[in-house]
Amino acid sequence: MKRHLLSATDLDRESATLVLDTAEEMARLGERSIKKLPTLRGRTVVNLFYEDSTRTRTSFELAAKRLSADVINFSAKGSSVSKGESLKDTALTLEAMGADAVVCRHSGSGAPHRLAQWVKGSVVNAGDGTHEHPTQALLDAFTMRRRLGRIEGLRVTIVGDILHSRVARSNVLLLDILGAHPTVVAPPTLLPVGIEAWPTEVSYDIDAVLPKSDVVMMLRVQNERMTASYFPNVREYSRRYGLDARRVAALPDDAIVMHPGPMNRGVEIAAEVADSARSTIVEQVANGVSVRMAVLYLLLGGSEPAIGSPAAGSTEGERP
């Protein structure tokens, strides 16, 4: 592993597979009555969140705590950011308190990359603007591998607001690295300029692609990032691009339905589809804890098996 995880492209196939394999070990730990390891005892993880989050922030916090790290949760709301303190000064202040890793979410694309130039510890990108969300892509890949037994060769269709989606970009990049075949589906107005350079097929027709999909990943329409009208109205968008029971019936029998959350039920995905047996949405949340434990463990120096070694299993063990 590199020192930072800023982009899915910081991983090659070998290191991405190491994260997924380590996450399997962490998931097994989650099945025990005592779900805690001493491996990051004495280490400090700062969750630096300048943008709202439910899943990512809480799962990084739980992941760090399960590894026995000290955790500082910093939210821009209610902090000295309101007095004008910059990202750099905020980060240096938190580093002065001994942060070994900074998990950063920011509305500015590239903010975690700048942070990585200023702090000595590891930086994890927890979602930057419309750019990337690499741990989401890792937990999605982990979920696919658990449900379908493999990633290589899977036909993964990603539908919706690709233009504003950091999840789509990180997923396309990681799926390509892992040998899957991504296709993005969206109205032309919700595809980014330069999409032809991404390692993905592009389609405007969801109904043409669904019968050839092992995985369909629905994305939220990100109204909060929209400065113009990208489609006529929500009903029309839902009719053309929403996943309902009729469209699910066109999928192969063992295909799965994913969504990174938060969902707009009734817009990009019907409630009955979100709650169906094909849906992995709740599993994705649970898998996020295991994958983020693996990322923190590997970034903060884990080179031995996370579980099973005397050091890992003992509260007196050396930290990595």
Q: What residue ranges bind ligand CP (CB under 6 A)?
A: 53-56, 127, 136, 260-262
Closer CB to ligand CP, 53 or 68, in the complex: 53
Residue type, 185: V
Closer CB to ligand CP, 97 or 282, in the complex: 282
Three-state DSSP at 230 gives coil
Rounded to whole angstroms, how far apart are CA atoms 139 and 118? 28
Residue closest to ligand CP, measured at CB: 56
Closer CB to ligand CP, 53 or 107, in the complex: 53
Quote the least distance from Cβ 156 to ligand CP, whole Å.
17
If we measure between CA atoms, which residue out of 121, 83, 140, 154 comes closest to residue 290? 140
Closer CB to ligand CP, 44 or 56, in the complex: 56
Quote the least distance from Cβ 133 to ligand CP, whole Å.
6
Closer CB to ligand CP, 112 or 302, in the complex: 112
If we measure between CA atoms, which residue out of 103, 101, 105 comes closest to residue 120? 101
Quote the least distance from Cβ 227 to ligand CP, whole Å.
20
Contact predicate 259/218, CB 8 Å: yes
Rounded to whole angstroms, how far apart are CA atoms 182 and 176? 7
Quote the least distance from Cβ 76 to ligand CP, whole Å.
15
Q: Please report the sign of the dihedral spanned by the C-alpha atoms of residue 270, residue 276, residue 278, residue 282.
A: positive
Quote the least distance from Cβ 262 to ligand CP, whole Å.
6
Residue type, 288: G
Closer CB to ligand CP, 53 or 79, in the complex: 53
Residues 6+ apart with CB under 8 A from 235: none
Quote the least distance from Cβ 260 to ligand CP, whole Å.
4
Residue type, 208: A
